[in-house]
């Protein structure tokens, strides 16, 4: 955590006040001691005069020797004072006042300083933000990419730990006011049977292990996302008791997996949504309750040095409703601006996913839906520039054209463009899919006002970012003195190097420009977690991950990506990625048939269940099998005994 200078100076001032008061009392004690010594000496003289009455001869004799005695008396003053200090009081009932010398004062001051250091050490530990580079490069990772086919499958070992300064593991979820793993089988455990575990893929610990290849890498977990909705977060933050339960659960999870911090991706405070539904205005008090939660998390994290960040909206209507920007900035270590998803297949005309500037003849709303406007709006409302991290998408938004017109604002039909072979999502394509399509002959265009590229093939249209447009955004970032760049998400960059012969072309260009780092590409070895105490997979399934959907049956949108940033006048924009289907074998025949998207029990085998996925109106059936001794509960959507 950052050094808390304000709290430290309060401690120093407290110590200083104590020493001033102590010195005042010490001076008073010294005065009383000297006064007592003077009275003792005067009393002794009087007693001596009673027994030795002076005569003229004795006075003459004393006068003669006065000069000699004066010099001796001066030499012996210190010793006389010292003797008087130890002289027994005439009155045995009088109190001996303590003599506190300089050594004792120094000892007390030194011990007080050590005590303050001890207190301060318990207030704020050394930050676990390991970054030693000029800029942050925050890499979000949609971990369901593990279930993508062929070259799209992404695991911890695919991460280049030298190109990112921070990695965000997406996602954890909120359950019963506690943070919980979204996909325990993927996130926890270990698939290596020789390790002592017989379940799971251990992906979180495999991510944490990347710190052995780059000790300056910060590994965090992100909580929330679009699919999580907003309602249950609103319920949690309004109650001090539930906030305390939540914070303790976060501390436990971070310690259990040796993570460096938490990224809070609540989409969004003061917006109402159950699950992945569209957002609409909700409980206004969320805005300040969110600040309270961040403050309490900040205070709870300090003794451990944990890092706290948040992903925030780039759309003005949501920003105004959701965030007290100066207070949010105060308690967060950095803020990830989701400056993408400004336009998509939910609209009736083409628009770029993340335009740097507004297009020609744009209306007032579209003028606000640009990267430049979003950055300036956050800055003008009190965010610390060094904490603001600019989001850059490594994917594009797609459309199906209605006719021959193909420029910005051209009419479109349907819910978006056709799905790709890797992300398999209507309305979006990863850059690893887009760059392949460009090589195959798509027509490339560049809008010189918005400073972005788009590509067209037949009736398909893609608005995306390439290295040139990314460079334009980095120029803005540096001109505004922002704290770095964030990407959503590393699993959709060309991480295998299919297109230009180099892995991570977009992420690498960001790292090179900001931190002058473009490698090396380490050979990451598979890490295995060895323990016999890890918990088994509680639902007993032997299937792959099935918590995330690729499409929705709702008529007005197609994907369920994790981030949604903007708030158009009639609906929210759709998050930028989808959580993909599993890689089990497609079931071509059988008595069960899909009639709608969702999860369903098998009518014949109680251990078996099905996921029906809508691919542009065509339903596909994917089979799963519960563990031995369990059956699928269609209401709970889990395997139970």
Domains identified in the chain and CATH numbers: 5-89+96-123 (no CATH), 136-396+465-515 (3.20.20.80), 598-640 (no CATH)
**Residue 572: pLDDT above 80?**
no
DSSP class of 491: G
Q: What is the mean pLDDT of the chain?
A: 80
- The helices-and-strands tally (H runs, E runs) of the chain is 17, 24
More confident residue, 514 or 200: 514
Instruction: Please provide residue 10's backbone torsions phi and psi, each rounded to the nearest 5 degrees.
Output: -60, -40
Q: How far apart are CA 189 and CA 537, in angstroms?
A: 8
pLDDT in tens, 451-478: 899 999 999 999 999 999 999 999 999 9
Biggest CA–CA distance in the chain, Å, is 141
Q: Which residues on neighbouring strands pair with residue 172, listed in sequence order?
A: 181, 223
> Angle 102-123/5-51 helices, nearest 10 degrees?
160
Provide mean pLDDT across the span 505-511: 99
pLDDT at 350: 97
**Residue 560: pLDDT above 50?**
no
pLDDT at 559: 35
Provide mean pLDDT across the span 5-21: 56
Question: Tokens 């956050």 — which residue?
Answer: 378
> Quick one: pLDDT band at residue 578, thresholds 50, 70, 90?
very low
DSSP class of 626: B
**Residue 524: pLDDT above 50?**
yes
More confident residue, 52 or 21: 21
Count of CA atoms in the C-beta half-sphere (13 A) of 11: 17
> Distance between terminal CA atoms of the chain?
45
Nearest to 478 by CA among 450, 516, 452: 516
Percent of the chain residues past pLDDT 70, beyond the cut: 68
| C-alpha angle 357-503-465 in degrees, rounded to nearest 5 | 15
Contact by Cβ (8 Å): 171, 562? yes
pLDDT at 596: 76
pLDDT at 630: 83
> Quick one: pLDDT band at residue 592, thresholds 50, 70, 90?
confident
pLDDT at 49: 58
pLDDT at 547: 31
More confident residue, 248 or 193: 248
pLDDT at 531: 56
Report CA-CA distances (Å) from 425 to 20, 398, 614: 70, 10, 10
Known catalytic membership, residue 327: no
Provide mean pLDDT across the span 129-141: 98
pLDDT in tens, 260-280: 999 999 999 999 998 877 899
Q: How far apart are CA 627 and CA 543, in angstroms?
A: 9
Provide mean pLDDT across the span 337-361: 95
**Residue 10: pLDDT above 80?**
no
pLDDT in tens, 154-190: 999 999 999 999 999 999 999 999 999 999 999 998 8
Among the listed residues 40, 157, 191, 267, the single catalytic one is 267
pLDDT at 9: 52
Which residues touch 446 (CB under 8 Å, ≥6 apart)? Answer: 452, 453, 454, 468
- Which helix (H) or strand (E) segment is 564 a member of? none
More confident residue, 486 or 30: 486
Provide mean pLDDT across the span 597-605: 85
pLDDT in tens, 69-78: 444 444 444 4
Percent of the chain residues past pLDDT 90, beyond the cut: 58
Q: What is the dihedral of CA 118, 122, 124, 129, to 10 degrees?
A: 110
Query: What is the pTM assigned to this prediction?
Result: 0.70
Per-residue HEC secondary structure of 246-282 comes to: HHHHHHHHHHHHCCCEEEEECCCCCEECECCCCCEEC
Least confident range of 25-34, 434-443, 525-534, 603-612: 25-34
> Quick one: pLDDT band at residue 127, thresholds 50, 70, 90?
very high
pLDDT in tens, 311-332: 999 999 999 999 999 999 999 9
**Residue 12: pLDDT above 70?**
no
pLDDT at 624: 75
């Amino acid at each position: 955590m950052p050094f808390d200078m304000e709290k430290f100076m309060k401690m120093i001032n407290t110590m200083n006040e104590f020493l001033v008061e102590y010195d005042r009392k010490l001076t008073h004690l010294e005065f009383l001691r000297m006064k007592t010594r003077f009275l003792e000496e005067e009393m002794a003289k009087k007693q001596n005069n009673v027994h030795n009455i002076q005569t003229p001869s004795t006075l003459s004799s004393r006068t003669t020797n006065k000069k000699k005695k004066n010099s001796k008396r001066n030499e012996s003053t210190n010793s006389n004072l010292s003797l008087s200090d130890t002289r027994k009081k005439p009155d045995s009932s009088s109190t001996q006042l303590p003599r506190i010398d300089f050594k004792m004062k120094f000892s007390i001051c030194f011990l007080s300083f050590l005590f303050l250091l001890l207190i301060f050490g318990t207030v704020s530990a050394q930050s676990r933000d390991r970054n030693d580079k000029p800029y942050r490069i925050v890499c979000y990772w949609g971990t369901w990419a593990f279930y993508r086919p062929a070259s799209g499958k992404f695991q911890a070992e695919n991460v280049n730990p030298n190109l990112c300064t921070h990695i965000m593991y997406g996602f954890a979820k909120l359950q019963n006011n506690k943070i919980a793993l979204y996909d325990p089988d993927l996130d926890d455990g270990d698939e290596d049977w020789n390790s002592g575990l017989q379940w799971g893929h251990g992906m979180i610990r495999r991510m944490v292990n990347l710190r052995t290849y780059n000790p300056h890498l910060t590994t965090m977990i992100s909580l929330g996302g679009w699919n999580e909705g907003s309602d249950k977060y609103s319920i949690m933050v309004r109650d001090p008791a539930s906030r305390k339960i939540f914070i303790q659960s976060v501390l436990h999870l971070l310690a259990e997996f040796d993570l460096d911090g938490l990224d809070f991706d609540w989409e969004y405070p003061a917006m109402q949504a159950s699950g992945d539904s569209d957002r609409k205005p909700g409980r206004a008090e969320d805005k300040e309750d969110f600040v309270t939660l961040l403050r309490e998390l900040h205070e709870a994290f300090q003794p451990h040095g944990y890092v706290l960040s948040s992903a925030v909206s780039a759309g003005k209507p949501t920003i105004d409703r959701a965030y007290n920007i100066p207070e949010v900035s105060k308690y967060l270590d950095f803020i990830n601006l989701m400056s993408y998803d400004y336009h998509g297949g939910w609209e009736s005309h083409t628009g770029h996913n993340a335009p740097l500037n507004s297009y020609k003849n744009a209306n007032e709303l579209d003028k606000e839906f640009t990267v430049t406007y979003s950055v300036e709006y956050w800055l003008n409302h009190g965010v610390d520039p060094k904490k603001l991290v600019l989001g850059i998408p490594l994917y594009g938004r797609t459309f199906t054209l209605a006719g021959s017109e193909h420029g910005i604002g051209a009419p479109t039909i349907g819910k978006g463009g056709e799905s790709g072979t890797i992300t398999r999502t209507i309305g979006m394509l990863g850059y690893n899919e887009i760059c392949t399509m460009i090589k195959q002959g798509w027509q490339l265009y560049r809008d010189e006002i918005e400073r972005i590229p788009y590509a067209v093939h037949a009736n398909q249209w893609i608005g995306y970012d390439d290295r040139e447009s990314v460079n334009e955004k980095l120029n803005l970032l540096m001109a505004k003195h922002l704290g770095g760049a964030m990407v959503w998400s590393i699993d959709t960059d060309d991480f295998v190097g299919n297109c230009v012969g180099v892995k991570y072309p977009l992420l690498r260009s960001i790292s090179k420009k900001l931190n002058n780092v473009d490698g090396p590409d380490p050979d990451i070895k598979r890490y295995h977690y060895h323990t016999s105490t890890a918990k088994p997979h509680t639902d007993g399934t032997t299937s792959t991950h099935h918590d995330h959907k690729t499409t929705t049956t709702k008529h007005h949108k197609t994907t369920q990506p994790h981030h949604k940033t903007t708030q158009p006048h009639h609906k929210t924009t759709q998050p930028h990625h989808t959580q993909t289907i599993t890689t089990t074998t497609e079931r071509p025949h059988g008595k069960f048939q899909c009639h709608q998207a969702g999860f369903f029990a098998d009518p014949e085998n109680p251990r078996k269940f099905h996921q029906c996925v809508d691919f542009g109106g065509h339903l596909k059936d994917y089979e799963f099998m519960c563990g031995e001794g369990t059956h699928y509960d269609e209401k709970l959507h889990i395997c139970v005994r």
